[in-house]
Amino acid sequence: MKDTPANAAEKKLGLWGLTAIVLGTMVGAGIFNIAQTTSSRAALGPGLLAWIVTGMAIVLLVLTFKVLADTKPELNSGIYQYARMVGGDYLGFNVAWGYWLSVTVSIVAYAVMLNDSFGAFFPILLEHSWATLLFGLGIIWMMCAIILRGIRGAVCLNTVMTVLKFSLIFFMAVVLIIYAKIGAFSVDFWGHMTNLGSTWDQIRNDMMVTLWCFIGIEGAVMMSGRAKRAKDVGRAGILGFILAWSLYVLVSTLCYGIMSQPEQARLQDPSMAYVMRAVCGDWAYYFVIVSVIISLLGCWVAWTLVCSETLFTASTVKIMPKHFGRINKKGVPHVALIASCAFMTLFLCLCLTSSELYIAAVDMTAALALPSYFFSAWYLIRLTRRGEALGDVGRGRRLRLRVIGWGCLLFVCWMIWAGGLVMMMMTAGFYLVGALFYLKSSRQHYPERGLSFRKIMNRRDRLIFALIVMATVASAILLISGYTPF
């Protein structure tokens, strides 16, 4: 396989291709279990308010990405670039490394969910034994082979899968509209007859589900280096958010017209299969299972593209080892892709030997992704304080952008707090291991630095490294003492 320079990667993604990436990363198996996950925390009234508040919060994040993509189109190597502009190469590397780990672990989680979905037809897969391993490895490397044949083909496949997925979900929504009972929506609208707590408690608890539905909203930014037009990156994020938010709200609301809140809360995963079966019969159950499979396969394509692109673009800006920046004659970063699939293979093998490891890793995925959101907001705030960085904008627009930046920053801080500060600290060990790759990258891209720790890392980098070491030690002590946040 012939290598070509990294800058030979073609810019082939238009608005709809980027939008399909955003939708592919956001709308996965979660929407098919939204009935149970939201109803177990809130009644319909507080649930709707949770979706509205979530929408307002995510809009700030989407607008942050749009402003940065429009204002700094040259920073088209992913959202970790914003962290790099804030704190230098080592901070940028850590954000890219954490984000890549988050994506690869998420894909392995998709492998397990896809395995369980196929288990409805092939029960041996539900044993999570050698059959699951062979199944997972087969899907991982099949996706790798598809993408190796070209980014355009992979994006077309993702777009087709996204259209098919949304068609199936739309069909289910139409069925729910037909069978929903209008009077059922008003039954215990605020949840006062249940043990769900006050209205505010229900909103807060439900947002722990609704907010995480939009992890992946940055998909267009991560692929911005391949966008035909820089303006399409921000537009794709907004369009993808509107479509995803509308579907989530529509589906979760309509379920209350079929089943009461207590009935939904008792459903098994995927809860939509049981809701559909209640009104259409057994065929609807298998229809939803097939829909879940199609949705997961579409997500898998999108996330694998983002996964390989993360290592590739990080290498092109010299914060990842050189070999990740190689592309084949099809314009695919094949080394980054194969390395990502190899890590997925290793992690899948480890997870099948320990269910506790799988649960812990999945719980950490959001914590590894959140720093990229945090520093994106921070960078926007910094730009608004340096007027020349935003170009010729008036005071009013600069003030609005500052409000967006601060609002987004506060929202991300809340997500970090809600996810657990101890959980965030537990991720430090991953960053400590990543330092080895950063040292290798520095030696390859800047050989004049040699092995001198002071030349490789400046004072700020050494402070970050020291904080990572201390957090790793503290995490180890907590684990040894028997405490786990998982």
Please state the pTM of the whole predicted model. 0.89
Integer Rg of the chain from CA: 22
Nearby residues of 92 by Cβ (< 8 Å), 6 or more positions away: 80, 81, 83, 84, 85, 314, 317, 319
How many CA atoms lie less than 13 Å away from 451 in the CB half-sphere?
1
Domain interval for residue 315: 6-358
Q: Which residues of the chain have pLDDT under 70?
A: 1-11, 355-358, 386-393, 485-486
Instruction: Confirm whether 484 is domain-assigned.
Output: no
Q: How many whole angstroms separate alpha carbon 332 and alpha carbon 200?
A: 48
**pLDDT the model gives residue 75:** 85
Decide: 211 and 62 in contact? Cβ < 8 Å: no
Q: DSSP 3-state assignment of 4? A: strand
**pLDDT the model gives residue 207:** 87
Instruction: Confirm whether 294 is domain-assigned.
Output: yes
pLDDT tens, residue by residue, 118-144: 998 999 998 888 999 999 999 999 999
Cis peptide before 73 (omega within 30 of 0): no
CATH number of the domain to which 144 belongs: 1.20.1740.10
Cis peptide before 270 (omega within 30 of 0): yes
Using a 10 angstrom Cβ sphere, with 0-12 exposed, 13-18 middle and 19 or more buried, the burial of residue 114 is buried
How many CA atoms lie less than 13 Å away from 150 in the CB half-sphere?
10
User: In degrees to the nearest 10, what's the CA dihedral of 77, 83, 85, 86?
Assistant: 170
Instruction: Confirm whether 296 is domain-assigned.
Output: yes
Q: How many whole angstroms separate alpha carbon 320 and alpha carbon 441?
A: 5
Question: Residue 1 has which token pair?
Answer: 């396989």
Instruction: Confirm whether 383 is domain-assigned.
Output: no
Q: Position 263: which residue type?
A: E
State the SS3 of 277-335: HHHHCHHHHHHHHHHHHHHHHHHHHHHHHHHHHHHHHHHHCCCCCHHHHCECCCCCCHH
List the Cα angle 11/15/16 in 5-degree steps: 110
Please report where in the chains the tokens 């720790």 appear, as a residue. Answer: 453
Q: DSSP 3-state assignment of 178? A: helix
Q: What are phi and psi of 4, to 5 degrees?
A: -130, 160
Q: How far is CA 98 from the centre of its chain?
A: 12
**pLDDT the model gives residue 212:** 81
Instruction: Confirm whether 71 is domain-assigned.
Output: yes
DSSP 8-state secondary structure symbol assigned to residue 268: P
Decide: 253 and 44 in contact? Cβ < 8 Å: yes
Residues in the chain, how many?
Answer: 486
Instruction: Confirm whether 315 is domain-assigned.
Output: yes
**pLDDT the model gives residue 1:** 39
Structural domain count, the chain: 1
Q: How far is CA 93 from the centre of its chain?
A: 18
Instruction: Confirm whether 40 is domain-assigned.
Output: yes
Instruction: Confirm whether 393 is domain-assigned.
Output: no
